[in-house]
Structure 1
């Protein structure tokens, strides 16, 4: 537990002028009831996992907060301030955190701008324009202040919310982390990188749901058909095909044909990010590990990123029944 000195100077404290902004970002990974939190000097890293075959990552950069303070523990000998293994990490109830952040009431954001001016640079990095986003106050109304603090290892995560003169204090119990390994995407061995509007991916995934599919197959090829999403289910099969038109696929880097299959319900779990993001970068490495990285515009003209990783079905199991399916475990590499 924290000492009196630590209580006066917590290990971490931050203030945001928008509890709604934090809520909408963290809700993107609400497919799991729990999340791991890592406090770093550059921001907060939230991660959720599903059966070692899906992970969702949200990084709340310190620029999202009006104030952000991380104090290195005095009893810890840390030589490298950038070493992630030295930063505090703990697990919390993500569902409880989301309930706390919306305690003053947050309506679902159904308005999604279809006129984003954001684009990607030549190197594949996201670049942003001045387009409207779901986070702007004209969509959300007035925003409430949120203060986060963590006194010391083992202490609860404290949350204070203030809006129109009303203050609410909450403490969330912290637990030992259950996982530390990420599902690795081999960026140096990418088999494909495609950048497109997130709303188009969202529409395609929803269209395929009509067959009640259990699996989603993603195929990319340097020749037609260039990029397809297909599904099979008890109600039939369906396929959505995208042409190579730069108006559809802003970036298309596919040296050779790739075909990988994933659990449809897991891909569907990224829908909240698809709904509010302006762009998505769809990357796949040579092992078939899939990354969906969403660029989400936030208040003040900035951007945040939400990254999902998915492990594919093993190719030899593609014809097996659902009960016998196994997936390639690359998360322990």
Structure 2
């Protein structure tokens, strides 16, 4: 039965930005249904895989020139559509490099199609997509227990993306996250790959500009613990699905609770978004000149949260093998424990770019003087932002 009147309508000219955002969902199935939660704050796109992984992508209402929501105030309106229908429409419309294209989305309620209207100065196109019955999203087991967090860390997005691309090249079948804090600030965040050739590791530099925060908590989940590693084991095919989202990330927040639920919060600030079609953007920039459409200043950017359940805990033999790997340097030799400390005035050359730094395996820092944050609450502002669409992102 069709609803009475339009429940939701919104217009925007930022088609390239929406195309980039929706592309983060494609690793979770291009021809599958996705649930869109609509309320007064914006749109939240949710997709779940076999009750072991879930992605939530939020687009704030500030992205739209006009935004109207007439649905119930005490709950969100849910609509289920196929992700490839939306992505294909935005991708095709975004190819117009000669004119500004405006898109209007609307939905009239249960039984109504999800409507897209694309308009430029000469033509108007209308697309109606079938909607499906939604049975809700089962969050049992996929919601982070914030009272039992074992570790949390914040990493620069482009460095993590480079590391994940390197991980893909190893032919990885399963992967481990190895996290260990150090009292002197020389923290360890490493991704370990297990493939047909054995184990290999990618260790991120511990400089604060890259590894902004890393804290490991004790059994009371409040006391900071140094020197005690936390290891988590994941199916690589699932873990790799976050790579598309990390590609556009400014910063990434990892948190894991005692039940093996890994929460990955991803923010793409407006100035750091990597657009999907760079050639189209370059051509559009030349065509429009000073008329090029800029994202709104109050728009917070693309916000993504991914939850992933850890695999069954690895056995004792795997634990010893992993620990042995982490105790060796990049040449496979045991790490030296010489009493002689390196001179602090020696300038040890570092790679010139963050991406180069991430691709170096088991890189050692030159001074190790960075101090860990003084408080567990020192998170960037966007991680504390509360919305009705994505209640899990803090």
TM tier relative to shorter chain = 0.7 to 0.9
| 8 A contact 1:192–1:253 mirrored in 2 | yes
- Judge which range, 291-300 or 226-235, deviates more: 291-300
Aligned-residue offset at 1:241: 1.2
Matched, 1:95 2:84: yes
Runs of 4+ residues deviating >3 angstroms: 140-143, 316-320
Query: Given the alignment of the two structures, is residue 197 of structure 1 paired with residue 197 of structure 2, yes or no?
Result: no
Structure with the largest fraction of strand: 1
Compare CA radii of gyration and give the structure with the larger one: 2
Is 1:54 matched with 2:13?
Answer: no
Question: How many residues end up aligned between the 2 structures?
Answer: 274
Deviation (angstroms), 1:142: 6.3
Tell me how far 1:253 sits from its aligned partner. Answer: 1.7
* Equivalent residues of 1:14, 1:147 under 8 A apart: yes
**Alpha-carbon contact 1:244-1:252 (below 8 Å) kept:** no
Partner SS for 2:24: helix
Distance 2:118 2:160 in 1: 35
Name the CA distance, whole Å, in 1 between partners of 2:302 and 2:169.
32
C-alpha distance in 2 between matches for 1:16 and 1:157: 16
Confirm whether residue 186 of structure 1 aligns to residue 145 of structure 2. yes
For 1:24 and 1:271, the matched residues in 2 are separated by 13
The alignment status of 1:42 with 2:41, answered yes or no, reads: yes
The whole-number CA distance in structure 2 between the counterparts of 1:199 and 1:296 is 11
Task: Find 2:174's aligned residue among 189, 194, 215.
Answer: 215
Match of 1:281 in 2: 253
Deviations 1:112-160 (A, max 9, x none): xxxxxxxxxxxxxxxxxxxxxxxxxxxx996521111101212111011
User: Scaled by the length of structure 1, what TM-score is found?
Assistant: 0.76
Shift of 1:221: 1.2
* Distance in 2 of aligned mates of 1:24 and 1:251: 28
Aligned-pair CA distance for 1:282 = 1.4
- 1:67 corresponds in structure 2 to 66
Residues 211 and 236 in structure 1, CA contact (< 8 A), matched pair in contact too: no
Deviations 1:163-212 (A, max 9, x none): 34222111111111244123201123221111111111111111122331
Query: 2:2 corresponds to which residue?
Result: 2
1:214-233 matches, cutoff 5 A: 214-223=173-182, 226-233=188-195
Offset at residue 52 of structure 1 (A): 1.4
Distance 1:17 1:225, change over 3 A: closer
CA offsets per residue over residues 58-117 of structure 1, 9 Å max, x none? Answer: 1111111111111136xxxxxxx3x4xx3221211001110011122449xxxxxxxxxx
Q: Does 1:264 align with 2:236?
A: yes
Q: For 1:15-52, what per-residue CA distance to the aligned partner results, in whole angstroms no more than 9, with x for missing partners?
A: 11212221211211122232101111211111011221
Residues 279-308 of structure 1 deviation map (CA, whole Å, 9 limit, x = unaligned): 111111122211221111232343221111
Q: How far apart in 2 are the matches of 1:262 and 1:317?
A: 14
SS in 2 for 1:252: strand
Q: 1:89 to 1:190 in 2, by over 3 A?
A: same
Decide whether aligned partners of structure 1 residues 96 and 317 sit closer, same or farther in structure 2, where only a CA change above 3 A counts. Answer: farther
Aligned to 2:305: 307
Offset, 1:310: 0.7
Q: Is the 8 A contact 1:185 1:289 kept in 2?
A: yes
CA drift of 1:242 comes to 2.5
Q: Which residue of 1 aligns with 2:209?
A: 247
**Structure-1 separation of matches of 2:82 and 2:315:** 34
1:244 deviates by: 3.1
Query: Mind listing any 5+ residue stretches in structure 1 that lack a counterpart?
Result: 74-80, 108-139, 321-333
> Tell me, what secondary structure is at the counterpart of 1:269?
helix
For 1:34 and 1:178, how far apart are their aligned partners in 2? Answer: 12
